[in-house]
Amino acid sequence: MKNIIKNKVFNRLHQSVKKNNFSHFYIFYGPQNIGKKRLALDFAKSILCNSIKDTEACNECDSCKKIYSETHYDLINVDNQTPIEGINDNKSDQIRIGHIHEIIRNSNLGPFMGKYKIFIINDAENLNNEASNAFLKLLEEPPMTSIFIFLVNDISLVYPTIISRAQKINLSENSDSEIMNYLDDNFQLDKELEELIVHFSSGKIELADSFANDTTLIDDYVESCERFYDFCNGDLNQRMNISQKLSSSFRSDRKMIYDELNLWISYCKIIIKKKFNKNNAFEFKKNLENLYSLDQINEIILILLKTQSYLQNNANSRLVFDVMSIDIPEKTNHDKQL
Ligand SMILES: [Zn+2]
């Protein structure tokens, strides 16, 4: 079982376990892959462990093992894909009132194995209006044996009345050295690969973990960066063609496009960061610096963030990508590579 990074957030949660003083409702928020799920599982372990020492879960007991494999009866994961009884079409990307009704029913049954039942609601910014209202009702009198944890990428999309009822935990990027230590503790990788992963994961522990578990993902990552490079390198016509493809992919698989936009943002950040840290030997074959100044790359990050936010607010996706195509500056540097 993996060691996790023990930072301020970790300590705060563990103090509350020690004092047996925890809230019934938490919101863990921060960018995708930052480690929200992992923190929630660790917290669940320390609450449900059968032989806890001080505030640390033993990682050995039946309960710890079942939480780690996400098969514990008192740990319930919910997301927009969770089946709802009696509803066949589950294509919606929202968390719906049926999900909340199922949570209420399950929560009223009480825990099976331990003292608490823990509900992890993934991407909880996807609760629609009805579901949010039903959840607020539930919070008025939450069953004493239930703990609800919302994992949220963008907290601005959650009802303020829900936020105000929660114990909020803000997760931020880990430092490169924390990620490096984490990889040293848990994997046996050669130094060069380790550095590459630190570089690509940009402080996001869950991303570092995926790369270390499956190094072919690094190639996928680089391909995605190169797609963005080609987009920037294109003229307006070429960009508009790509815009059309992005928009039709978005209609069939929103998550894939959000992931792609996140990768592009982190690609821009890596290029900026690299400017200030020359120790890292890795070079992109297609480097945005061949096209733009650093100021322009900064500007592009803002445009990508704006694009994400428009999409999350359900603006017309074709229009959003067309605007992005026009907003992203034309290349100014001479392309030295191609
Ligand atoms: Zn245990």
Please name the amino acid found at residue 27.
Answer: I
Distance CA 287, CA 271 (A): 8
121 CA from centroid of ligand 1 (Å): 23
Query: Per this entry, what is the length of the chain?
Result: 338
Distance CA 98, CA 89 (A): 12
141 CA from centroid of ligand 1 (Å): 30
Q: Is 214 helix (H, G, I), strand (E, B) or coil?
A: coil
48 CA from centroid of ligand 1 (Å): 7
148 CA from centroid of ligand 1 (Å): 20
HSE value, Cβ hemisphere, 13 Å, CA-based, for 52: 18
The pTM of the full predicted model, rounded to 2 decimals, is: 0.79
Q: Which domains does the chain have, with CATH numbers?
A: 8-170 (3.40.50.300), 215-327 (1.20.272)
Residue 338 has what pLDDT?
47
Q: At what angle do helices 294-312 and 317-327 cross, to 10 degrees?
A: 170
24 CA from centroid of ligand 1 (Å): 21
53 CA from centroid of ligand 1 (Å): 9
77 CA from centroid of ligand 1 (Å): 20
Residue 102 has what pLDDT?
94
- Nearest in space to 83 (alpha carbons), one of 69, 72, 99: 99
115 CA from centroid of ligand 1 (Å): 14
Give CA angle at 234 (281, 301), nearest 5°.
Answer: 55
Residue 113 has what pLDDT?
87
**Mean pLDDT, 10 residues at a time, over the chain (338 residues)?**
68 82 92 90 91 84 93 94 76 86 94 93 94 95 94 93 94 89 90 86 88 90 93 95 95 89 89 75 84 95 95 91 96 61
Residue 32 has what pLDDT?
85
145 CA from centroid of ligand 1 (Å): 19
65 CA from centroid of ligand 1 (Å): 7
44 CA from centroid of ligand 1 (Å): 10
